[in-house]
C-alpha cells in the first residue's frame, strides 16, 4: 500500500518546495521504491494554461497533454518519471468539477459545501490513479496561512485520519533567516509557521529549514523543542551551488533515511548519488563558455523559460561547456541593432511564444542567423517565425505572416480546426482559450538523409506540443526547392513538424517543445547537438 508524504511551505514562498520534493523523490526512487510526485495548486485558474508566464512562470506540458505547474518539470527532471494529467490539480479545477456535478443534480438535494465536498474531491485527487506506488509525494502550493490553501490543508489532515497516521507523513519547509546585523540565525518565523499549521490540526513530522548558513545544534534543538519534532527530523537545506547538488545535500542531511524510519520501512538498496556528483562537478568545473542568445517576450522573468534554460544547461553538460544565456527582449530588438546585439553570440534561440508583440525583432534575428550561418534553433513560435522569414526574404512572399496576429496576411501559419490524432478527428474550438491547443505527445516522421534524423538517430519521434497554429503545408515544394526542408512531418504527412536549412551548418525549427523532455542525467539530443554546433561556431 502506498505511503503518502505531504509537503507544505511556510514563512515565504519560493523556498524550493518543488526541488525538495523532487530530490526526495529521486532518493527514494534510487533506493528501489516506486514513487509518484503530485502538486496541488490553490489558485482559481482551472490550469495554468491561460496564465501569463510573468505571473506564474512557464506552463509545463505532460505527455498526456496536461498544462501544469512548472514544479512538475522539476519532478520529471529529477526522477525521470513522466508526470501525468492526474498529477496536478487546482482549486479552479476542483470547483469546476463540483459545479458541473451540482448542475447535473448529482448531490441529490444536499447543500454543497467546502467540507465535505471540496475536501472529498481533493482526497479523491490524492489517491486517484495510484496502483503499486510505494510513495506518493504531494506538494501543496502557496504558504501556510493563505486563505486559498485552507481546504487543501484540511483535506490532508482528514486524509491522514482516514488512512492512518502511520501511513502519512507531513513535511513542512520553512525559512530560517540569518540576520547580518546581529550575526544570528533566527528560528522564530519557523516556530510561528509550525504553530499556524498545528492550529489547523497538522503536526509536521519533519521540518526542513531553508537557510543561508548551516544551522548550529542549539538552534536546531530550539526548533525541535518549539515545533514538537524530534531533533533528527529537523533537516537543514543550505543554498546549493547548483540545483544538481540538492539530492546530495538532502542525502547528507538524511532526509530519505528519516522518511523511511518514520514509515518503519527498510531500504531496498542505498541511494545512488554518483550521477549527481558527476554532473555537479561538470557544471562547476566547466571553464569554456558559449554565449547563447535567447530572444523572447518573457526573458526578464527567469522562470518563464524554466525547462528551456534547463535543457540548454543539459546540452552544456553533454558538451562540457558552460552556457551563458544572453536574454534579449524581442520587442526591444531593432532591425538596425541586430549586428551589434548579436555580435558576440555563438547561437540564437527563439522560444515558444504567443501574440504579435516582438515578432518583427524575432524575424530580423532569424534573418541574421540564416545569412550569417549562426547556429539557430526555433521552438514552436520560433519555428513559425523562421518559416515566415524564409517565405518573405527567399520566396519573396512579402505578405507572408500568421493569422494569429495578422488576419490580412498571406496565411502561411494558420489555424487548423481539425487534425488527426490516433486516427480520430479532434475538433479544435475557437470559443475557449483554455485547454484547446494541440497538447501533449504527437508523433513525427523524420526524413531520410536529414540532419534531424541524424540527431535523433531514429525515423520516428514523439514530442510534446502546445500550440494552436500550424505551418501551412501547401508551399512545401517551393520551400524545399529553395533549401528549407520540411524534415519532420506528422504521420499523415499534413503537418510540418520540423524544418531545417540545407545550406547552413545548423538551422532547425521544431513545432514542438523538446525542452520538456530533457533531463540532466539524459540530455535531449537536439539540445546536445545545438550546443555542440554553438561550441564549434566560435
Phi-psi label, residue 35: left if phi above 0, alpha if psi -120 to 50, beta otherwise: beta
Phi-psi label, residue 428: left if phi above 0, alpha if psi -120 to 50, beta otherwise: beta
Calpha distance 6→347 (Å, rounded): 42
Which of 121, 306, 370, 467 lies at the binding interface for ligand GLN (CB under 6 A)? 467
380 is annotated as an active-site residue = yes
Relative to beta strand 469-471, strand 410-415 is: antiparallel
Contact between 305 and ligand GLN per CB under 6 A:
no
One of 314, 465, 504, 513 is an active-site residue; which one?
513
**Number of other CB atoms surrounding residue 321 within 10 Å:** 20
Cβ atoms 68, 83 nearer than 8 A: yes
Calpha distance 81→156 (Å, rounded): 24
524 is annotated as an active-site residue = no
Contact between 468 and ligand GLN per CB under 6 A:
yes
Of the ranges 157-165, 170-178, 352-360, 363-371, which one interacts with ligand GLN (CB under 6 A)? 352-360
Contact between 69 and ligand GLN per CB under 6 A:
no
One of 154, 236, 500, 515 is an active-site residue; which one?
515
Contact between 434 and ligand GLN per CB under 6 A:
no
Which residue stretches of 322-406 are H helix?
Answer: 338-341, 359-371, 381-393
State which residue, 263 or 354, has the beta carbon closest to ligand GLN: 354
* Least Å from the CB of residue 355 to ligand GLN: 7
Contact between 466 and ligand GLN per CB under 6 A:
yes
Angle in degrees, 0-180, between the axes of helices 359-371 and 381-393, rounded to the nearest 10: 70
One of 138, 380, 465, 500 is an active-site residue; which one?
380
Binding characters for ligand GLN, 383-422, by CB under 6 A (x = yes): ---------------------x------------------
State which residue, 122 or 444, has the beta carbon closest to ligand GLN: 444
Which of 159, 305, 469, 506 lies at the binding interface for ligand GLN (CB under 6 A)? 469
Side-chain half-sphere CA neighbours of 349 within 13 A: 29
* Least Å from the CB of residue 326 to ligand GLN: 20
* Least Å from the CB of residue 317 to ligand GLN: 25
State which residue, 407 or 449, has the beta carbon closest to ligand GLN: 407
State which residue, 235 or 475, has the beta carbon closest to ligand GLN: 475
Cβ atoms 363, 490 nearer than 8 A: no
Calpha distance 515→309 (Å, rounded): 8
Chain residue whose CB lies nearest ligand GLN: 352
Which of 53, 65, 177, 353 lies at the binding interface for ligand GLN (CB under 6 A)? 353
Q: Strand, helix or coil at 404?
A: coil
Calpha distance 72→84 (Å, rounded): 9
What is the Cα Rg of the chain in Å? 25
Catalytic sites, residue numbers: 380, 513, 515
Give the binding site for ligand GLN (CB under 6 A): 352-354, 380-381, 404, 466-469
Amino acid at each position: 500500500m502506498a505511503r503518502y508524504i505531504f509537503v507544505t511551505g511556510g514563512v515565504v514562498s519560493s523556498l524550493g518546495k518543488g526541488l525538495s520534493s523532487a530530490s526526495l523523490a529521486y532518493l527514494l526512487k534510487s533506493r528501489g521504491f516506486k514513487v509518484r510526485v503530485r502538486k496541488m495548486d490553490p489558485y482559481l485558474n482551472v490550469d495554468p494554461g491561460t496564465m501569463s508566464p510573468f505571473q506564474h512562470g512557464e506552463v509545463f506540458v505532460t505527455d498526456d497533454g496536461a498544462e501544469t505547474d512548472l514544479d512538475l518539470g522539476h519532478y520529471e527532471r529529477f526522477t525521470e518519471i513522466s508526470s501525468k494529467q492526474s498529477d496536478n490539480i487546482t482549486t479552479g479545477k476542483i470547483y469546476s468539477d463540483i459545479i458541473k456535478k451540482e448542475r447535473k443534480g448529482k448531490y441529490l438535494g444536499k447543500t454543497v459545501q467546502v467540507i465535505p465536498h471540496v475536501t472529498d474531491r481533493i482526497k479523491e485527487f490524492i489517491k486517484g490513479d495510484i496502483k503499486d506506488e510505494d510513495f506518493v509525494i504531494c506538494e501543496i502550493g502557496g504558504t501556510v496561512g493563505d486563505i486559498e490553501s485552507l481546504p487543501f490543508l484540511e483535506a490532508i489532515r482528514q486524509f491522514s485520519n482516514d488512512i492512518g497516521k502511520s501511513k502519512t507523513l507531513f513535511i513542512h519547509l520553512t525559512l530560517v533567516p540569518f540576520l547580518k546585523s546581529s550575526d544570528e540565525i533566527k528560528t522564530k518565523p519557523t516556530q510561528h509557521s509550525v504553530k499556524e499549521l498545528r492550529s489547523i490540526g497538522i503536526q509536521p513530522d519533519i521540518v526542513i529549514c531553508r537557510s543561508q548558513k548551516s544551522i548550529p545544534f542549539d538552534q536546531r534543538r530550539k526548533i525541535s523543542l518549539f515545533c514538537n519534532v524530534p531533533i533528527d527530523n529537523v533537516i537543514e537545506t543550505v543554498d546549493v551551488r547548483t540545483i544538481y547538488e540538492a539530492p546530495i545535500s538532502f542525502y547528507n542531511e538524511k532526509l530519505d533515511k528519516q522518511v523511511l524510519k518514520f514509515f518503519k520501512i527498510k531500504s531496498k538498496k542505498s541511494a545512488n548519488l554518483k550521477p549527481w556528483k558527476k554532473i555537479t562537478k561538470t557544471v562547476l568545473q566547466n571553464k569554456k563558455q558559449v554565449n547563447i542568445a535567447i530572444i523572447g517576450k518573457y526573458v526578464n522573468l527567469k522562470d518563464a523559460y524554466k525547462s528551456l534554460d534547463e535543457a540548454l544547461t543539459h546540452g552544456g553538460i553533454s558538451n562540457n561547456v558552460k552556457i551563458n544565456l544572453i536574454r534579449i527582449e524581442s520587442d526591444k530588438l531593432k532591425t538596425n541593432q541586430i549586428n551589434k546585439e548579436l555580435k558576440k553570440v555563438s547561437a540564437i534561440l527563439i522560444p515558444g511564444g504567443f501574440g504579435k508583440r516582438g515578432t518583427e525583432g524575432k524575424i530580423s534575428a532569424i534573418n541574421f542567423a540564416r545569412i550569417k550561418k549562426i547556429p539557430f534553433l526555433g521552438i514552436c513560435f520560433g519555428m513559425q517565425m523562421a518559416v515566415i522569414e524564409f517565405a518573405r526574404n527567399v520566396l519573396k512572399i512579402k505578405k507572408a505572416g500568421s493569422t494569429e496576429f495578422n488576419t490580412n496576411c498571406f496565411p502561411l501559419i494558420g489555424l487548423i480546426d481539425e487534425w488527426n490524432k490516433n486516427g480520430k478527428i479532434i475538433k479544435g474550438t475557437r470559443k475557449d482559450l483554455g485547454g484547446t491547443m494541440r497538447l501533449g505527445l504527437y508523433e513525427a516522421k523524420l526524413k531520410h538523409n536529414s540532419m534531424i534524423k541524424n540527431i535523433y538517430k531514429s525515423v520516428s519521434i514523439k514530442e510534446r506540443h502546445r500550440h494552436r497554429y500550424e505551418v501551412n503545408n501547401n508551399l512545401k515544394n517551393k520551400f524545399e526547392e529553395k533549401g528549407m526542408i520540411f524534415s519532420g512531418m506528422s504521420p499523415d504527412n499534413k503537418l510540418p513538424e520540423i524544418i531545417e536549412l540545407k545550406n547552413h551548418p545548423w538551422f532547425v525549427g521544431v513545432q514542438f517543445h523538446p525542452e520538456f523532455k530533457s533531463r540532466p542525467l539524459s540530455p535531449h539530443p537536439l539540445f546536445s547537438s545545438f550546443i555542440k554546433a554553438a561550441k564549434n561556431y566560435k
